[in-house]
């Protein structure tokens, strides 16, 4: 933190995609976040009912895990966070 505010990349970016933003979120923004070294990137697909967790490796994102409706989302980056996706993706 500086006098100007918080500087540097966030620890995580979470994108909730929609049919109109699918290409923007999965391609354009993904490249942009990697360029600015955001360590973790989540893509939430409310229609498909899943979350993809990507981790930055060698200046590009690698899919680390895909969580579906029956999963509990957990990540080593935030060990205190556990999200029951059955509650998030109600049918």
Q: Is 55 exposed, middle or buried (0-12, 13-18, 19+ CB in 10 A)?
A: middle
Residue 85 parent element (H or E): helix 85-88
Beta carbons of 40 and 54 less than 8 angstroms apart: yes
| Predicted local distance difference test score (pLDDT) of residue 12 | 94
The predicted-structure confidence for 32-50, as pLDDT tens digits, reads as follows 999 999 999 999 999 899 9
| Predicted local distance difference test score (pLDDT) of residue 43 | 95
Place of tokens 């929609």: 18
| Predicted local distance difference test score (pLDDT) of residue 8 | 84
| Predicted local distance difference test score (pLDDT) of residue 4 | 84
Beta-carbon contacts of 81 under 8 Å, excluding residues fewer than 6 positions away, are 73, 74, 75
Q: Is 49 exposed, middle or buried (0-12, 13-18, 19+ CB in 10 A)?
A: middle
Rounded to two decimals, what is the model's pTM? 0.85
Per-run averaged pLDDT (10 residues), the chain, 91 residues:
83 91 84 94 93 94 95 92 91 68
């Amino acid at each position: 933190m500086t006098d100007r505010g918080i500087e540097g990349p966030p620890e995580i970016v979470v994108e909730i995609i929609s049919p109109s933003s699918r290409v923007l979120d999965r391609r354009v923004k993904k490249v942009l976040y990697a360029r600015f070294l955001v360590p973790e990137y989540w893509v939430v697909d409310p229609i498909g009912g899943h979350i993809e967790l990507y981790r930055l490796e060698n200046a590009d994102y690698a899919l680390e895990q895909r969580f579906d409706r029956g999963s509990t989302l957990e990540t080593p980056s935030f060990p205190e966070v556990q999200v029951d996706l059955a509650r998030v993706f109600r049918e």
